[in-house]
Amino acid sequence: MISKRALSMKPSGIRKYFALASKIEGCIDCSIGQPDFPVEDNIKTELLNIILDGRNKYTQSLGLESARAAVKEKYSINSDDYNVIISSGVSGGLYLVYSAILDPGDEILIPDPYFIGYKELSHLLNAIPVPCDTYPNFILTPEILDKYLTSKTKAVIVGSPSNPTGVSLTKEQVTDLSSYCKQKGLYLIFDEIYEEFSYDFVHERPALEPHVIILNGLSKSKALMGWRLGWVVANSEIISQLEKIQQFTFVCAPSPFQEVITKEHLKPIPQTKLNNFIKRRDLVSEKLSTKYNFTKPNGAFYFFPEIFKGNNIQSGTEFVTELLNRKLLVIPGGEFSKVDTNFRLSFAVSDQMLERALDVLCSF
C-alpha cells in the first residue's frame, strides 16, 4: 500500500527522456542542466587528500564550521540574527526549507514555467503548489502574484537565473518581490544556484531580512553536481529548525566534500569560462531567431523557445518526439509548466554538439 503523498508526485520527465536518449546511438543530448567543464584539478586533489587523511566522519548537522564561515563571509553575515546550514545540494536544502515552513494545505506560489522540484516537493509535504503564469517574458512580479494570492498562501519561491527559462531578475525586480512578500507576510525563497552564470548584468539577490530564505551551492559553478554541496541562508530561528530536520533526515551533507567550501572556491568563475557560455548563448540566439520565438536568456544555460507547430505537431511532447527521431534530445515544456507549448534546450554542451543541435532545429 503506497502513501497518497508518494502517489501525488510525478516522476521526473527529464530523467525519462534522458533514459530514452541513452538508447539512441549518436544522440545529441541537450537535455541535462549540468556544465560541460570538468572539476578543477586542485579541488580533486584536495578531496583525495581529505579522504586519504581519514576525514570522513559525521559533521554537526549545521555543517563544518569552516564551510559555514566561508558562506557567512560571502553573504556578509556578521551578527547572530542570520545563520547558515550546509545542505545536500540545493534540492536537499529545499526539502529542509519546505519541511520547516509548509504545513499540509499551505499554498506556495511558484513561477510557471518552474523548476520541477519546486512543485513536486510541495506534494511530498501535502502543501499546495500554485503555478503563476509568467508567459511570455517569464518575469514574476507582484502584479502576477496578486492574481494567485489567497488566505492559504505561505510562501513564494523564485529562481534567478531561472531553470528552465534562463531569465534573471534585475535589482529592482528582486527588491519589488521581496517588498511584496514582506508586506503580505510571506516567505520569499530565493534560489540562486545559477548565480555565476549571469551574462548581461550583475547577479542580484534580496537583502537578508527575516522573511528571506536563500538557496545556493557549488553544483553549477564548480561542476560538483554529484557531490551534493549546497547551503541555506536565513534568519537564525529558521536555520535552527532546518538543523533539527537535517539531524533526522540527511544527518549532514557529505563530510569530505564540505571541506572544499572555502573562501577560495567561492570566488566567481573565471571570466574566460563565462565568456564561453556567453558565446554559446549568442550563437543559439542568432541561429534560432530565424525560426523560433523565445525570450533571450540573460543567465543560466537554457533557452525556452516556443515549439515549431505544424506537420501534426501541436505540443512540446510531440515536438520532442519528432526531434528524437532526428537524434536530438531536448525537454518538452510541459515538464516545467501547466502548458506544453515550449521546449528547453541546454547549451551547456560542447561547441561541436551545439552546432549539430542547432542544425537539426533550424532544418526542422
Considering 266, 282, 302, which residue would you say is the last residue of a domain? 266
Q: What is the average pLDDT across 36-42?
A: 91
Average the pLDDT over 62-80 and give the result. 97
Q: Which of 199, 234, 266 is the last residue of a domain?
A: 266
- Domain extent for 167: 57-266
The type of residue at 323 is: L
Do 226 and 90 fall into the same domain?
yes
pLDDT, position 349: 95
| Euclidean distance between CA atoms 283 and 285, whole angstroms | 5
Its pTM stands at 0.95
Residues 120 and 203 in one domain: yes
Name the band, by pLDDT with cuts 50, 70 and 90, for residue 361.
very high
**Domain boundary, last residue among 212, 232, 266:** 266
Closest by CA to 32, choosing from 131, 187, 164, 167, is: 164
Lowest pLDDT segment from 31-35, 122-126, 266-270, 333-337: 31-35
Same domain? For 95 and 202 the reply is yes
Residue 13 has pLDDT above 80, yes or no: no
Contact 265, 222 (CB under 8 A): yes
Determine the 3-state secondary structure of 221 from DSSP. Answer: coil
Domain identity same for 259 and 276: no
What's the total number of domains in the chain?
2
Residue 301 within any structural domain of the chain: yes
Domain match, 143 and 27 both: no
Q: How far apart are CA 155 and CA 221, in angstroms?
A: 27
Q: Which CATH number covers residue 293?
A: 3.90.1150.10
- In this structure, the answer to whether residues 97 and 200 fall within a common structural domain is yes
- The mean-pLDDT minimum among 23-27, 94-98, 295-299 falls in 23-27
Domain identity same for 65 and 186: yes
134-188 pLDDT, tens digit each: 999 999 999 999 999 999 999 999 999 999 999 999 999 999 999 999 999 999 9
CATH number at residue 84: 3.40.640.10
For residues 316 and 341, is the Cβ–Cβ distance under 8 A? Answer: yes
* Same domain as 334, residue 212: no
Give the list of residues 6+ apart from residue 62 with CB closer than 8 angstroms, or none.
Answer: 68, 83, 84, 85, 86, 239, 243, 246
pLDDT of residue 8: 82
Q: Does the residue 50 lie in any domain?
A: no
The per-residue DSSP string of 156-214 comes to EEEESS-TTT-----HHHHHHHHHHHHHHT-EEEEE-TTTT-B-SS----PPP-TTEEE
The dihedral through the CA atoms of 253, 258, 263, 267 has a sign that is: negative
- Of 255, 206, 253, 201, the residue nearest 231 (C-alpha): 253
Same domain flag for 204 and 328: no
142 and 26 inside one domain: no
Q: Is residue 51 part of a domain?
A: no
